Chain A
Amino acid sequence: MSYVLLRHRDIPDINTLNVYKKNGGFEAFKKVVTKMKPGEVTDTVKASGLRGRGGAGFPTGVKWSFIDNKIWPHYVVANADESEPGTFKDREIMESNPFQFLEGVAIASYAVGANAAYVYLRGEFWQVAKFLDEKIAEMEEAGYLGEKLFGTDYSLHIYTHLGAGAYICGEETAMLESIEGKRGMPRIRPPFPAVYGLYGKPTVVNNVETLTNLPMILANGADWYKNMGTPDSAGVKVFSLSGRIRKPGNYELPFGTTFRQLIYEHGGGVLDGRPVKAIMPAGASSSFIVADEKVLDMQMDYATVRTLGADLGSASVIVIDDTVSIDWIINKTIHFFKHESCGKCTPCREGTYWMMHLIEDIRDDKHSTANVDLLLNVARQMQNKCLCPLGEFSTMAVVTGIERFPQDFKESNKQVLTEPA
């Protein structure tokens, strides 16, 4: 099967305008602008079953249909913040197949009536932003961006905006604040961005991978897309595979591919041939999945992963083998969230601070039941009390780690719990 998103692996030099054009590039955008009404584009995307790839899996066309048509102008923001530990797919897409991504931004913009779109990249993607700026300039020169496109009244400009090192800016309302030149702290919702977004105007925020699907969906039709994947999770997904795996990397596969296929067929199996102990399917924000032979044969789609007590999220699959102790893992995730908490609300700010001290105590030879119970208690108390999902994310690995791997938190076991080599 040929690639839908990582098409640079099939087509060399697709990052040049000419090669992209020769392979059908910009035809979908031209078609929608010259032949389709914005509502028809939204309907096609709805019918395709495309769901957001940034983590929440919200149906893309449905999100677009919430945009408030009584307030203008409208904006589109492409979420290229990609900061969830274990996620590195958007970077490959932008670096290697940039025009398909930008065409996706353009199609989304037309569908919601935006004449300006911003690509928000994490600050570390400094070189990627420079590269995209060049590609945007080439598109302007070739008449794919700018005023009165394809002889119609539709105009569109795309701009890049660099963040500066803050995971929270991946949260869409924090991102909007950041573009507005403020600290990246989440807004209280509602109102949602579709009504009150960038500069207080209706705004659609979509992930890079979500947007990169659009040119192919509009070119080949909703049914073509829907026929891939599973009924609940249509299409293909780029799985970022990392951790204790022989061949870490991005794998574009249809939803419904099993964990076993990803880990063994594509990823070459676990380092040193060890068994899989746990899987974190959504980066550091994951709940742990306890791996066994049955679980390995489960399908990776939104609904099935939920039956395992976890979420597929951005499908950043971190593989953990039996040489790694779960208390060591959550020490890492807690430090991450402590560092990235924006400090706006008390449960998250204080909770991540306490969790950090408790896990450090536990790791400092004090695997006492009291400490472990207290840690679990703090994490549970934070749940449902935080202003944005980051606070909640910080508790997922803690709660499920202690509940599902209690032996890794017992003093008697600690000598066999080594750090990975």
Chain B
Amino acid sequence: MSLAKKYPKEVKQILAKYPPEHKRSAVMPLLYLAQREGGYITKEAMQDIADTLEISVTDVGAVVGFYTLYHDKKEGKYRMQVCTDLPCALRGADQFMETLCANLGIKVGETTPDGLITLEAVTCLAACDKAPMFQIQSAEGIEYHEDMTVDKTMELIETLKKANVEVK
């Protein structure tokens, strides 16, 4: 189903932000909308957005490819994006990440066998005073988790697991 049919109110609101002759500007917010389905953007969704904005699907694909928060492949339901950039690393982020990998039995970039968590290392998230920290990106959006410990993180993962079983 097209985005305009599925989210008529949101699409209208998004288009209203930009001058009508520059509706291409809506490509980024529309991609976020499309990503609400399963946490990644399908070929069909890109075509739909291209049609809505009267640009080529190549132009839409180029935007998807350029920005790291858009995904064109299905991964874990939750992308756990741990900041291992300089200021966080000065406060133990690398060790935090290592222990997390060991606990989950996966490497950076991999997904847990149950398909729940994809672990990623990312650059500074503007929370350097609250390291170790990560964000969780999912179909619902992005959530920060700051001043974390490995224990707290494992608890959080347990909660996510339980919630996931319940909806299934």
Contacts and interface: CB of A to CB of B under 8 A. Distances in A.
Interface stretch (A213-221, A331-339, A388-396): A331-339
B110 interface: no
Nearest to B125: A124
Interface string B101-131: 0000000000000000000001111111100
A244 B86 CA distance: 11
A208 to B, nearest CB: 11
Interface residue tally on B, bucketed by range: 35 or more
Given A162-B28, A166-B68, A336 B90 contact: no
Contacts of A159: 17-18
Interface stretch (B3-11, B141-149, B151-159, B160-168): B141-149
B89 A420 contact: yes
A81 to B, nearest CB: 10
Contacts of A84: 124
A209 to B, nearest CB: 13
A240 B87 CA distance: 11
Interface in B24-78: 24-29, 31-32, 53, 55, 59, 62-63, 66-70
Contacts of B66: 166, 183-184, 342
Contacts of B89: 332, 420
Contacts of B127: 88, 91
A249 B87 CA distance: 12
A161 interface: yes
Nearest to A244: B90
A284 B144 CA distance: 22
Interface stretch (A15-23, A42-50, A173-181, A299-307): A173-181
A88 B31 contact: no
A88 B124 CA distance: 9
Nearest to A90: B126
Contacts of B92: 420-421
A419 interface: yes
A182 interface: yes
Contacts of B86: 85-86, 284, 318, 329, 332-333, 336
B24 A180 contact: yes
Given A320-B90, A336-B85, A419-B94, A180 B25 contact: yes
A240 B128 contact: yes
Interface in A363-415: none
B87 A318 contact: yes
Contact of B62 (A162, A183, A240, A420): A183
Interface string A164-207: 11110000000000111111100000000000000100000000
A111 to B, nearest CB: 22
A82 B126 CA distance: 7
B126 A88 contact: yes
Given A124-B135, A127-B142, A83 B124 contact: yes
Contact of A85 (B17, B29, B128): B128
Contacts of B91: 242-244, 248, 420
Contacts of B125: 124
A249 B131 CA distance: 11
A124 B28 contact: no
A123 interface: yes
Contacts of B95: 421
Contacts of A260: none
A161 B18 CA distance: 10
A180 B29 contact: no
Interface of A: 82-88, 90-91, 122-127, 159, 161-167, 178-184, 199, 240-244, 248-250, 284, 318, 320, 324, 329, 332-333, 336, 339-340, 342, 419-421
Given A85-B123, A181-B28, A181-B63, 8 more contacts: A86-B124, A125-B126, A163-B28, A165-B69, A166-B67, A180-B24, A241-B129, A421-B95
Interface of B: 17-19, 22, 24-29, 31-32, 53, 55, 59, 62-63, 66-70, 85-87, 89-92, 94-95, 122-129, 135, 141-144
Across the A-B interface, the 5 shortest Cβ-Cβ residue pairs: A164-B67, A165-B68, A248-B129, A181-B24, A85-B124
